[in-house]
Amino acid sequence: MDNLTRIFNHEVLNAEISQIRQFDESVSEFGELIRLTLGQPDFPTPQHVKEAAKKAIDDNFSFYTQTAGYLQLREAAAQFVKDKYNLSYDPASEVIATVGATEALACSLISILNPGDKVIIPSPYFSLYESLVRQAKAEPVFIDTSLTDFQVSPEVLKQTIEEHKTNLKAVIFNSPNNPTGTTWSKDRVRDLASVLKDYPDVLAISDEIYSEIVYEEDFTSLGEHLREQTIVINGLSKSHAMTGWRLGLIFAPAFITEQIVKVHQSLVTSASSITQYAGIEALTKGKNDAHEMRVQYKKRRDVVVSALSALDFSIATPTGAFYIFAKIPDRFTQNSHDFCYNLAKHTRVALIPGSAFGEAGEGYVRISYAASITDIEEAMERLTDYLKDN
Ligand SMILES: Cc1ncc(COP(=O)(O)O)c(C=O)c1O
């Protein structure tokens, strides 16, 4: 171990492999499972987007692109978020195409964090946030949202900022949310923005990767209300069912992107040229490609909500993304890992334990409904039988 400590970065050495991966592997021993565990759309990428990529290959778009991405892609991206979310970014200087939202988050955090800085993260949370913050030798500060319907109130945000403001660098927001499936209303976004305006040196990193998957209200971006302090993270992984293509986007004021682009260049040079061409097609001719998927997701969501409600699970109203975060009925005394493990063992249905998303997720399960309606219905029947007998 001493040797390892000398060889490796200590934060990397201490980092765990994602609990989601670990859990997935541990239940694989049970054989064929219905997996409601996946964090990615089960739909194929739209055909016209695939055709654009094929053409880009045939037309020899096989060279490095500009570091921030093809200007045509950045123009398409800026127009997309203007038309849809009322955001205003200059394609030449305020948009960067990245290798998925993952790289967008990584290079944003690396470019702002110094060792010892603090970053506020509402919890439960997508575990990448904590890993990236820790790997940059900064410290996460969690806000437990489990008692407030997974919402952060302006008062609690202000209080947390005040408590940690000496070393506070940023706040990470994620609406629509993974793992809870909740979203923030327009009023909530405006109120949180107005708290942050009092702290102009604190940046907001707003992960809006699920912005096209909302069911009730229109999506509101933090960038609309707090443009000068916000790094908006988005991409095509969820909106266009393109997780494997790896195309993310950063929108931020030029003084911020000027710094981020340096890290982006060191990490990857540029996003894939073929993927960027597909992205231009998706963001221009496929502006509404998510609509049909949303209709399907909504039907599936309703099936899960009605099954779980009948089974004493309490659930935060799922208004976005494709997740339901459900509180395990009180009569079960085991923790969320053991509950999910036993469930998988006895029913061959895999859900993710809430503890994979931080302490505030203990006692919950995350159900992804990015799965076929047949699988979802079958899984709900098995869950119902299991709960009746236990
Ligand atoms: C909240 C959130 N942010 C970012 C990502 C990463 O997206 P990408 O596949 O574009 O890297 C995911 C993927 O599941 C996610 O759930």
The answer for residues whose C-beta is within 8 angstroms of residue 12's C-beta and 6 or more apart is 135
| pLDDT per residue as tens digits for the range 178-206 | 999 999 999 999 999 999 999 999 999 99
Residue 317 has pLDDT above 90, yes or no: no
Omega into 124 within 30° of 0, i.e. cis? yes
| pLDDT per residue as tens digits for the range 23-41 | 888 898 898 999 999 889 9
Give the strands of the sheet with 352-353, arranged side by side.
314-315, 323-327, 364-368, 352-353
How many percent of the chain have pLDDT more than 90?
92
Q: What is the mean pLDDT of residues 51-80?
A: 98
pLDDT of 72:
98
Residue 225 has pLDDT above 70, yes or no: yes
| pLDDT per residue as tens digits for the range 127-145 | 999 999 999 999 999 999 9
pLDDT of 370:
96
Q: Point out which residues pair with 168 in neighbouring strands.
A: 118
| Among 377, 376, 352, 378, residue whose Cα is nearest residue 365 | 352
| Among 87, 38, 383, 12, residue whose Cα is nearest residue 237 | 38
Q: What is the mean pLDDT of residues 147-164?
A: 97
Distance, in Å, from the CA atom of 372 to the CA atom of 9, rounded to the nearest integer, reads 42
Q: How far is CA 339 from the centre of its chain?
A: 25
Written as six digits, the tokens of 188 are 């909530």
Strands 349-350 and 34-35: parallel
**Predicted confidence band of residue 55 (pLDDT cuts 50, 70, 90):** very high
DSSP codes joined into one string, 94-143: SEEEESHHHHHHHHHHHHH--TT-EEEEEES--THHHHHHHHTT-EEEEE
**Predicted confidence band of residue 1 (pLDDT cuts 50, 70, 90):** low
Q: What is the mean pLDDT of residues 58-80?
A: 98
Q: Is 116 exposed, middle or buried (0-12, 13-18, 19+ CB in 10 A)?
A: exposed
Residues in contact with ligand 1 (CB, 6 Å cut-off) = 39, 100-102, 126, 174, 178, 207, 209, 235, 237, 243, 248
DSSP class of 356: G
pLDDT of 269:
98
How remote is the CA of residue 209 from the centroid of ligand 1, in Å? Answer: 6
How remote is the CA of residue 326 from the centroid of ligand 1, in Å? Answer: 21
Q: What are phi and psi of 115, to 5 degrees?
A: -55, 135
How remote is the CA of residue 178 from the centroid of ligand 1, in Å? Answer: 9
Written as six digits, the tokens of 139 are 């410290």
Q: How far is CA 305 from the centre of its chain?
A: 21
Q: Which atom of ligand 1 lies closest to the CA of 103? A: 11
Assign 323 to helix, strand or coil: strand
| pLDDT per residue as tens digits for the range 361-389 | 999 999 999 999 999 999 999 999 999 88
Q: What is the mean pLDDT of residues 57-67?
A: 98
Distance, in Å, from the CA atom of 21 to the CA atom of 38, rounded to the nearest integer, reads 10
DSSP class of 241: T
Packing angle of the helix pair 47-58, 273-284 (nearest 10 deg): 140
Written as six digits, the tokens of 126 are 């997508």
Helix (H) or strand (E) holding 120: strand 118-123
Pick from 42, 102, 242 the residue to mutate for probing ligand 1's pocket: most ligand atoms within 8 Å of its CB.
102
pLDDT of 17:
79
What domains does the chain contain, in order, with CATH numbers? Answer: 2-44+290-389 (3.90.1150.10), 58-284 (3.40.640.10)
How many percent of the chain have pLDDT more than 70?
100
pLDDT of 38:
86
**Predicted confidence band of residue 283 (pLDDT cuts 50, 70, 90):** very high
